[in-house]
Amino acid sequence: MSLLGKLSWSAIPVHQPIIMGTVACVAIVILATLAWITTRGYWPYLWREWITSVDHKRIGVMYFALAMVMLVRGFADAIMMRTQQAIAAGGAQGYLPPEHFDQIFSAHGTIMIFFVAMPLVIGLMNFVVPLQLGIRDVAFPTMNSVSLWLTASGVLLANASLAIGEFAKTGWVAYPPLSELQFSPGVGVDYYLWSLQISGLGTLLTGVNFVTTILKMRAPGMSYMRMPVFCWTALATNLLIVAAFPVLTALFAMLLLDRYLGFHFFTVDGGGNAMMYVNLFWVWGHPEVYILVMPAYGIYSEVSATFSGKPLFGYRSMVGATLAICVLSYTVWLHHFFTMGASASVNAFFGITSMIIGVPTGVKIFNWLFTMYGGRVRFTLPVLWTIGFMVTFVFGGLTGVLLALPPVDWQVHNSLFLVAHFHHVIVPGVLFGVMAGYNYWFPKAFGFRLEERWGVASFWCWFIGFHLAFMPLYVVGLMGMTRRMQHYDVLSWQPWLWVAEAGAVIVLAGIACQFVQLVVSVRNREELRDTTGDPWNGRTLEWATASPPPAWNFAVLPQVGELDAFWAKKQRVGAKQEQPMLQRDYKPIEVPSNNPTGFVTSFFVVIGGFALIWHIWWMAGLGLLGAAATLLAFMFHPDEEVEIPAEQIALFDRTHPVEVSL
Amino acid sequence: MRYVLLTFVLIGATALGGCAEGVLDPKGPITFAERQILFNATGIMLAIVVPVMFATLGVAFWFRASNERARYRPDFKYSGRIELLVWSIPLMTVLLVGTVAWVSSYDLDPPRPIASSAKPVKVQVVSLDWKWLFIYPEQGIASVNQLTIPVGTPVSFELTSSGVMNSFFVPQLAGQIYTMAGMVTHLNLQADYPGSYRGASANFSGDGFADMHFNVDAVPPETFANWVASTRGAGRVLDAQAYADLVKPSKAVAPFTYPSIAPGLFAGILSAELQSDQGICVRYPESMRAAR
């Protein structure tokens, strides 16, 4: 047995020019960034203010930045796939051999779900929820930092597979028996499993953290029915995380036992049953869809109310619909495999439950519509993304109900129709929502608004590119094209795939516009400055403090007497019924001190995870021991908090005045 | 807006026209019924989805902040009647489409035999890496990547897999069904029109997946009988030894036939899978190799 397990120089795919070229580019970008940080002397600042930060706002921003970088990676995979399928028709084999193409579609799905969509919504929840609840931080700030860095560890491991070894060639669901050692002897599936185990642990901790925060730590007077809808959807999402992610962890643990210790949970022989994996995967997988989309529903609710200048229509109905989705999302998982050969009663039952979950979703759409009705709709960027979502999503929902009909599902399951459908709900549902939230809360996070014109260009590129990329996939799906094909023999599919390719290029332009928008906004930040803390005439508490908020969020915790208390107060002040400012009695505030627990733990976890993937047992032991020791050291360390003196708080309030205080 | 609509109609028309070989061009009773359900459900939902799309755009446009004529009603935040309406519309739709789901799940259940005066042809299907084996137990022959069936006669399938999971799918003749090692799934289909139809695996199964498609030739019963007769005769028998050779992974296999089969082969493939308890570090279970 070698000291380095399965690892050797042959693990680096030197003979694959595409991979090596990518690795070289990525390496240059990383080295250039590091060199820039070093020459500018930013390391101490980064370490003090960001890497060791336990401030929920900083952590939220880091989650978001991580996800945007991964969006580029995931999209690079997407456009490579589209190009391959556009050219590999008839006898042509395209430019990607199967063993590479298979890794790309597996990586695309894994990265987009776990390392783009998840950190995007978790990042926004991190930033927004404590502010909307009118509190100073989440329940467990250091654990929050651990969550972030565990997620980053998973990201790092999954991306390391590009340069060292390979990624899974099984699709992002990694169904056995294909993902068993017998059929996937390489390290690809191990990269998949360990990176998701590690980031999944981070997500679970986030879930625990936010459920606790929302249930126990709201501002004085904020009863449940006075919580903003985004907080409700965040609560529902985190309840789902707490209930669903342990299933995934246990499931992957079983597959790992199969692969590492010769167990027979899902093997072909020895009494294993692969369908148990498929069941459990979707017991996690369907709630996961709602984990992603519900925070976006919350964003749409906030945006439509704020920019219509009126309260959300049917608040109670919206809360009810959110909770209904939360519960119902556990009753539909079998619709992912109607083709397994279950009995007619089973298929019919799950077909109908899948449709029923469309009811609360439909209610939400109507309520957003009635929120705009009678309003004064300002067509800002968040509103553009919201309306783009509403008109697109209803059609994605339509194809979803079609797929919930077992006989239709038998015809289009695993086809590009299915691929078109789930992109049709996840891209408008989650990504458009996140973009609305990004444009909406950016001024709160950084103190200046995002530039409009490049944002509008980005929206239209995304909107048009999305339709051009996915509508043709419905057509080829109906023509019988199944997913994950490295090449195909039916020439009549090809024109549609060229249209889809064009759509992907337009989406690329949309992503480019987003980055340009960011750069232009940073340059013009003085013109776009938000000096009031309330650039949109907002309704909820995050707008009742300065932009960007101080480390303590609120000098005095706001007193909440009703739903949309901030808006109501502004109305009363406007009608001269109340004084804008309350008499402030500043007291010193204790905030948790920054600490490197999360970063150091994750450093060891990366070492341990990498070692487990390559069977380097001594190093795995070292990594896990290091991680455990770091956590123990934190736990037995006396609580360290910094006290911010009252004078400093008072000074900040004087220099950053807000219009009204609660 | 007119042009947008026109574009949609044109795209829709080309799309439907382009689907000549897919699920929108059924060639048997099962797929015909499935397409009908697809159309009905789409129609029911379009009746709601399209107005909602236009209502969204219309409301957003009319209530734009710059429109002086739109009435600003900042207190319009609840209406019991509207709530009742917005809950009932999707609920009614689901009631309607859900009924379709319930009835059709039973009617078109894949194991359900197709009513016909003709005696069904039995075919046993095994998905291999990366090709399809079709065993005709009653005719005593077998073929690879070539499925020949008589027109107007129900065909009854038993399906399994040698290892990884696949999905048996002939879009114009039947919905798909998984093939899983150690388990049997059932599917019935019938071709009403003679012709050559594309069949494929719909579930990703590894590097050779893209070439894992096969031809379905639906031919008149006499032609089918001739094909069976001409297939029988000299050639290699599909026994355990030949099967062991066949399961070795291979890509893009040209169709060929076996003139005869060893008795109980399909049952052997199934049970051997279950009995084998080999270690995990082998490419295929012991039972799948020549020694047995």
A82-129 residue pLDDT tens: 999 999 999 899 999 999 999 999 999 999 999 999 999 999 999 999
State the pLDDT at residue B277. 40
Q: Does A398 touch chain B (CB under 8 A)?
A: yes
Q: Does the beta-carbon distance from A311 to B276 stay under 8 Å?
A: no
* Residues β-bridged to residue A575: none
Computed over every residue of chain A, the mean pLDDT equals: 95
Q: Does the beta-carbon distance from B19 to A359 stay under 8 Å?
A: no
User: Residue B5: pLDDT band by 50, 70, 90 thresholds?
Assistant: low
Q: Buried b vs exposed e over A471-484: b needs ≥16 C-beta within 10 Å?
A: bbbbbbbbbbbbbb
Q: Of B14, B66, B77, which to mutate for an interface test with A (greatest number of A Cβ within 10 Å)?
A: B77
Instruction: For A428, list phi and psi in degrees, rounded to 5.
Output: -65, -40
User: Residue B62: pLDDT band by 50, 70, 90 thresholds?
Assistant: very high
User: Residue B282: pLDDT band by 50, 70, 90 thresholds?
Assistant: very low
State the pLDDT at residue B270. 86
Q: Does the beta-carbon distance from B277 to A489 stay under 8 Å?
A: no
How many CB contacts within 8 angstroms connect chain A with chain B?
316
How confident is the model over A621-637, as pLDDT tens digits? Answer: 999 999 999 999 998 88
State the pLDDT at residue A440. 98
Cβ neighbours of residue A508 closer than 8 Å, sequence gap 6 or more: A75, A79, A465
User: Residue B235: pLDDT band by 50, 70, 90 thresholds?
Assistant: confident
User: Residue B271: pLDDT band by 50, 70, 90 thresholds?
Assistant: confident
Rounded to an integer, the average pLDDT of B56-76 is: 95
What are all long-range contacts of A472-476, with beta carbons under 8 Å and residues at least 24 apart?
A472/A496, A472/A497, A472/A499, A472/A500, A472/A503, A473/A416, A473/A417, A473/A419, A473/A420, A473/A423, A473/A500, A474/A399, A474/A416, A474/A417, A474/A420, A474/A421, A474/B15, A475/B15, A475/B18, A475/B19, A476/A416
Distance separating alpha carbons of residues B81 and A100, to the nearest angstrom: 57
CA distances from A192 to A110, A575, A609, B284 (A): 8, 59, 11, 23
User: Residue B3: pLDDT band by 50, 70, 90 thresholds?
Assistant: low
Angle at the Cα of A616 from the Cα atoms of A615 and A618, rounded to 5 degrees: 135
State the pLDDT at residue B21. 75
User: Residue A556: pLDDT band by 50, 70, 90 thresholds?
Assistant: very high
- Decide if B220 contacts B194 (C-beta within 8 A): yes
User: Residue B130: pLDDT band by 50, 70, 90 thresholds?
Assistant: very high
Instruction: For B26, list phi and psi in degrees, rounded to 5.
Output: -70, 150
Q: Does the beta-carbon distance from B60 to A377 stay under 8 Å?
A: yes
State the pLDDT at residue A587. 93
Instruction: For B119, list phi and psi in degrees, rounded to 5.
Output: -75, 130
How confident is the model over A446-467, as pLDDT tens digits? Answer: 999 999 999 999 999 999 999 9
Of A355, A479, A487, the CB nearest to B97: A355
Tell me: pLDDT of A250 over 50.
yes
State the pLDDT at residue B20. 58
Residue A94: which region, alpha, beta or left (left: phi > 0; alpha: psi -120 to 50)?
A: left
Q: For the residues of B36-96, what is the DSSP string, one character each? A: HHHHHHHHHHHHHHHHHHHHHHHHHHHTBTT-TTSPP-TT----HHHHHHHHHHHHHHHHH
- Work out the minimum CA distance from B71 to partner chain A, whole angstroms: 6
Distance separating alpha carbons of residues A25 and A37, to the nearest angstrom: 18
Computed over every residue of chain B, the mean pLDDT equals: 88
SS3 B277: coil
Q: Does A492 touch chain B (CB under 8 A)?
A: yes
**Range with lowest mean pLDDT among A31-35, A397-401, B261-265:** B261-265
Q: Does A340 touch chain B (CB under 8 A)?
A: yes
State the pLDDT at residue B286. 45
Tell me: pLDDT of B16 over 70.
no
Catalytic annotation present for A286: yes
**Range with lowest mean pLDDT among A395-399, A545-549, A590-594, B233-237:** B233-237
- Residue that has been written with the tokens 């899902």 in this structure: A266
How confident is the model over B78-111, as pLDDT tens digits? Answer: 999 999 999 999 999 999 999 999 999 999 999 9
- Work out the minimum CA distance from A479 to partner chain B, whole angstroms: 4
State the pLDDT at residue A662. 84
Q: Does A271 touch chain B (CB under 8 A)?
A: yes
Tell me: pLDDT of B285 over 60.
no
How confident is the model over A476-524, as pLDDT tens digits? Answer: 999 999 999 999 999 999 999 999 999 999 999 999 999 999 999 999 9
